[in-house]
Structure 1
Amino acid sequence: MSYNNLKIAYGLGGNMDKLYCKGGGCTAKLGAGILSHILERLPEQNFDKNLIVGFDSKDDAAVYKLSDDIAFVQTLDFFPPMVEDPYTFGQIAATNALSDVYAMGGEVKTALNIVCFPQSSDLNILGEIMRGGLEKVKEAGGVLAGGHSIDDTDVKYGLSVTGVVNPKKIYSNNTGKVKDKLIFTKKLGVGIICTAARIGECDEKTLNEAIESMTTLNKYACEVSKNYDIHACTDVTGFGFLGHLLEMMDNDKSCVIYADKVPVFEEAKALADEFLITAGGQRNRNHVGEKVFFDNIPFSMEEILFDPQTSGGLMFAVSADEADSLVEELKKINLPASIVGEIIEKTDVAIKVVK
């Protein structure tokens, strides 16, 4: 099959765009406000003291205690394609799904494929997607144990992942402390870049840099963090930098973010200035905007902070006296980590963004 035929069959050329590329990656995620509204209306469950983390906590994954020393971490994630190459899409989708285990401080053990694919299309394309996913599960140290597939008009792929963690060493997303420094491990802007690339408005070098970021497992940042007293952690994905940060504040803390310290793809700023932004970013702005104060921050940077991230970095809350050392270690493994802000006592705004 030629590259052009592959592109069309995969849904990224000609009229097939409307079928498969409606909004790939974490830009396809339902808005945080919609999800909260739905979850609040679900009936109460029977209490189980071994469920340490459930959906009511808005954390990154569920955690269920098996013994005093072992709990399993459960998560799943899947979405439509955001890049042309099926193997690369499989890698990105798997890396994104695996990330939630690392956001909880856990280790990946098993994964199951989640597949939606049109049966009438070339199944070699599906094979490439799944091969990309398998490679990332192997890199994570896990085992691909099976999965489920359905015939669908739209391509979607991801994983259900199980990991393990010591119940006493779970990374929750809302347990940061006042005076903690906030450290972020990847560059922002991949949602804007992928959207621009799909309509031919992004250069290949920038797209490749974004792909490299999206296919970098958060495993390595998590391993480094184990040497430090991490008070809280989350991974920044579909709700954007500010949306996930708001969940970390949990209505009882506030934070100051230093915009100039946040790692970003410089090309994403130029693209945002040209209004090449995502619908997901606008959903995030609508949900979070009233709880954020921007102190003379450029429009492009605002958009990057709202931008949905596919397979984004980890955000750590760590004591001030350990922050510089943690950043130094993260940089040694070639991550663009930086201290991006600090947690403060609760104020009238949850997040203040300054230069």
Structure 2
Amino acid sequence: MKIRLGSHPSNLSLFILRHRGVIEPAARDRGWQLEWFDYTQGARSGEWLADEQVDVVGTGSTPPISAQATGLDVAYLASSPPRNNNCALLTLQSNAISSLRAKRLTGMPGSFTDHFLARLLQKQNLRRTDVTLLDLQGQDAMTALLNGDIDGWLAIDPWLTRALQIKDVVARSAVGDEIINRSLFWTRAAWQQRYPEVAAWIVKQLRVNDAWIEQHPVGAAQILADKLNPAILPDEWLKTIRGRPWGLTPASDALLAEQQQQADDLFAVDWVYDVLQQENHWAKAHPLEAGKIWASQMGQQGSTLAALLGRVNTVPITPVDDAAITHIGHIANWYQQQGLIASHPDIRQHVVTLTP
């Protein structure tokens, strides 16, 4: 059997495990072949899962919700303890930003900083469209903040710790004051149901790896310093590792309730619509790749169907208006006439408003 684990720089547990070289021989002892799928953007994890490029991924709490919003049947395997101090909204001392309205912010779109910002917006009765959210990371975000090109930065360690050493930079809100911030490990529901023993084994290996990181922080920090951005020094990675709790717990009803709360928070500020627009923009730019994902979800393979699905389904996403409701009603009439449905549904009753 082949197992494919995903690794990207934003999930330190999997990234360190990927470069320790210890899980591959453990898999071989069981007669399994373990491969790594390396990528740079954790926000795209759901895309790689749906395309069956990878079997298990680790991210913050937002990517699985985004994946579910686009139709992927997600299964949660495990989570880390809450990490309350690894992210904060930073501003210059001179910029109090008492209101976020019309402010220019940067974070890591598609990550847990989306939920963090959504809660901040909710508290001020604002929507996602009331702010401009940029995708600047690391030194680019630091420079933009110091130059006044942005009003705020949802900074994540180790950059958070470095930024707070600058006299004029202050933290206005810590992530732990607003949301429960965990790392999550997840997969396709169908894969988990088919290979429960493998899924449990992976969770065990991740737990053992987290224990190694906690017991060997210097060695773990050196792996990160060697493999990631050379601008971050080993001592800075060491502070990051020592500053967060390690360990894993299996997925539970409590975790699912947390995820539901996050989905509700994102929905409340119209972030769901924003996610759908982003995914649709990608699908329009990559119709064949999008078609392959749709075809695989239908249990079909082959480029012919994928190309057809990509061509006919990559159309603009717009809110449902009266004309759309009428059109859907005509389709429902035909379904009823053909005996496919027993009665005509109340289309308007099931329309949800995702935009202001």
- TM-score interval (norm. to shorter): under 0.3
Structure richer in helix, relative to its length: 2
TM-score normalised to the size of structure 2? 0.23
Higher relative CO (Cα under 8 Å, sequence separation at least 6) belongs to 1
